[in-house]
């Protein structure tokens, strides 16, 4: 009779140990989930939003937090501290009026893994705290062509004089130029970052002096830049 009782006692002890271990694991999981979930404390009249285009740039060292904030509240607020998970607290001073937005850059200490999200908390002088998960990644370099107003079409020799500057951080490769309703020309021009140049592009067609023509410039990155140019 004692043997079944001993076996039953052992089973009870094993089940109890298993239950305690499960509760400990559940507690730690809930604790981890709670720590990873952004929480905010909203103050009356103040509402600060962390825009979804905020990010941590991990391209170079030191890493940089690009924080885009928007005040959708009814009162002016002052951002006085920013905390970043895995890094530190940073004292700042940025007043922000109702309906206003601002972009803040902060050099970060610590290591961040590309592709992961990190909790960022923004604090205000009124006592508010606003949290969001911000992604760490390497932003893709982008071109940005500016076409200057002194560009024009020479109606006599059917040549497009295109004065451009690349204000982006990647080279712009122009592969096609179109004069809408008249012609398009295949070209191969590379405009490096910060480079400014006057391109001379032969274009087939008849152009009437004094007439404005819509010109489109196509680049290998998929961008199309449009402008109205005068033929003279």
pLDDT in the model for residue 182: 93
In sequence order, what E strands does 87-207 have?
Answer: 89-96, 101-108, 117-124, 129-137, 145-147, 152-154, 159-166, 172-179, 183-191, 196-202
In a domain, 55, yes or no: yes
pLDDT in the model for residue 33: 42
Under 8 Å between Cβ of 109 and 28:
no
181/223 same-domain check: yes
Domain boundary, last residue among 102, 137, 172: 137
What's the length of the chain? 232
pLDDT in the model for residue 17: 62
Range of the domain at 98: 48-137
CA nearest to 41, candidates 65, 92, 86, 77: 77
Q: What totals of helices (H) and strands (E) does the chain contain, helices first?
A: 1, 16
pLDDT in the model for residue 221: 87
Domain boundary, last residue among 85, 119, 137: 137
pLDDT in the model for residue 213: 94
Task: Report, as ranges of residue numbers, the positions in the chain whose pLDDT lies below 50.
Answer: 1, 26-27, 29-37
Distance of alpha carbon 151 from alpha carbon 199, whole angstroms = 9
Distance of alpha carbon 78 from alpha carbon 127, whole angstroms = 10
pLDDT in the model for residue 28: 53
**How many domains does the chain divide into?**
2
């Amino acid at each position: 009779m004692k043997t079944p009782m001993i076996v039953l006692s052992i089973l009870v002890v094993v089940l109890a140990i298993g239950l305690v271990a499960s509760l400990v694991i559940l507690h730690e999981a809930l604790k981890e989930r709670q720590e990873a979930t952004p929480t905010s404390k909203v103050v009356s009249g103040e509402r600060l939003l962390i825009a979804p285009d905020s990010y941590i740039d991990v391209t170079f060292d030191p890493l940089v937090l690009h924080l885009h904030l928007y005040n959708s509240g009814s009162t002016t607020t002052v951002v006085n501290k920013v905390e970043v998970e895995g890094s530190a607290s940073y004292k700042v001073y940025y007043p922000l009026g109702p309906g206003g937005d601002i972009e803040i850059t902060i050099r970060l200490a610590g290591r961040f893994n590309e592709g992961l999200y990190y909790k960022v908390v923004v604090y205000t002088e009124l006592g508010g705290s606003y949290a969001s998960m911000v992604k760490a990644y390497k932003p893709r370099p982008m071109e940005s062509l500016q076409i200057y107003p002194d560009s024009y079409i020479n109606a006599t020799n059917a040549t497009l004089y295109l004065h451009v500057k690349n204000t982006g951080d990647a080279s712009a490769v122009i592969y096609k130029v179109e004069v809408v309703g008249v012609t398009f020309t295949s070209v191969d021009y590379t405009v490096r970052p910060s480079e400014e140049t006057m391109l001379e592009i032969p274009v087939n067609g008849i152009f009437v002096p004094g007439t404005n023509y819509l010109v489109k410039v196509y680049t290998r990155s998929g961008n199309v830049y449009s402008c109205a140019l005068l033929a003279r």
